[in-house]
Amino acid sequence: MKDRLVFWGKKNGKEKVLLTIDLDEDEGTYEVQVMKAENVTEAFDNLVRNQWRNGSEDVVFPEIEETFTRELSLTADLLPDEYEVDRDDLLKMAQAEWNFFVLSKRLKDTYSHSLDALEERAEQLEEFSGDLWEEMKLFWQKVQEQIRDKNLARRHGNVIRRRTNAVFSTLKDLRAKSEKELVDDSAAARERFMQILDGVENRISEGKSLRHLFDELKKIQRDFKKTKFTRKDQSAVWDKLDGLFKEIKSKKYGKTASGNDPLIRILRRIDGLTAAIDRMERSIRRDKKDLNFQNNRIDNTDGQLEAQIRKAKLSVLEERISSKENKLQDMHKTLAQLKTRAEKLEERAEEEKKEEERKKIEKEVKERISKQIKEKQKEIQADPEVQKAASILSSTQKEDETSSSIVNHKAAKSTAETIRSAVRASRVPLKFVSDFTSPTVSPSLSDEEE
């Protein structure tokens, strides 16, 4: 349905008139012009239908009897009661469609305000912005939903589509340029990082201070996270960096260091939290940039509605920034606590390592001394003079053992004689005496006594 309509009709059921109706979407109103039939020529009738109705402003109107402007409504008729037209059905259809166009125009204006800010940001870009690209995708997704639901008229949707495509085109050109530059910059950055990491690897092999090398790797890691790479170059540099971290940890804390070791877990938490802090800080910087942009735009708004929308955006951004800054403070506190715990665990690990080294050295010394003693004993045993002295000492020991046996034999014999005398006096059978004395008296002594 067009925004301009032309009807032949009657006024008060008698007077023939020509009526033109012109819709104003922006205001939600329409203007009606009434001309008497005697003032309308056939040529003007053709002009007004073929040119003016299609948007031309060059048509000169004859004398106009009446002009009035009314607000568009779904319930009230377009024309006053004294007017009637030949095609009342078209008039009613126009009324319904025009109401939809007005509402669609308001929805289109809402999206246009959002698109204005996106277009301005795109014009200020010197390099491709992934954030703006994602925002544009989300914006166009919302517009498409309104078009599919038929809440947005086709002509209004086409206007937004053309503007959106222009922004996407600008971003694609910037991305193509950035990708070419990224490939070159990434190759140079990869070469630079690999040279630095090769130097660190050589110093690890030379046995330099592991603590200083570990701190240096952490600095390299922070620089690595801030550098843009292609996916292939990023993977290559990260594999090298991660391998050196593992090698230092293995040398510093021993092979027992594993994923279950408290220190390793804390170091991983520190790395993860540091990365999260970096992402949070970047997010806050983006929000503050948007906040400054909205502050600058709020003074140059075109109307009260846009000003209200921007103030609402400012409120949302300020609340978001405040929330993120509070979270960032908590993250920094946690990071400080983790670093303190890591330092204590590192000190304990160093002490345990020193204790292990001390025990290892002590064990090696004991084994060396034991080996020396055994070797010395073998040398002494092989010495002829030592063997001769040992033989003499052995003979002397045998003679002492023989003398001791004779003395013991005589003492046993005397004891047995005393017992037998006592038994005879008490008339105890001799058999019991023999049984009593047999364990202590030798067989020769018992036979002789019998």
* pLDDT tens, residue by residue, 230-247: 889 999 999 998 888 888
- Asked whether the predicted pLDDT for residue 133 surpasses 90, the reply is yes
Ramachandran angles phi, psi of 34, nearest 5°: -115, 130
pLDDT value at position 60? 86
pLDDT value at position 169? 93
Q: Quick one: average pLDDT of 335-352?
A: 85
- The 3-state DSSP class for residue 6 equals strand
pLDDT value at position 76? 83
Amino acid (1-letter code) at residue 90: L
Q: CA 116, CA 118: separation in Å to the nearest integer?
A: 5
Question: Which residues, at least 6 apart from 25, have a Cβ–Cβ distance to it below 8 Å?
Answer: 3, 101, 102, 105
Instruction: Report the chain's mean pLDDT, rounded to a whole number.
Output: 81
- Asked whether the predicted pLDDT for residue 417 surpasses 80, the reply is no
Question: Which residues, at least 6 apart from 129, have a Cβ–Cβ distance to it below 8 Å?
Answer: 121, 171, 174
Q: CA 62, CA 59: separation in Å to the nearest integer?
A: 10
Domain borders along the chain are 4-86, 104-175, 188-356, 386-449
* pLDDT tens, residue by residue, 5-61: 999 999 988 899 999 999 988 888 999 999 999 998 999 989 989 889 888 888 889
Residue 265 has, within 13 A of its CA and on its CB side, a CA count of: 5
Q: Which helix (H) or strand (E) holds 30?
A: strand 29-36
Amino acid (1-letter code) at residue 350: E
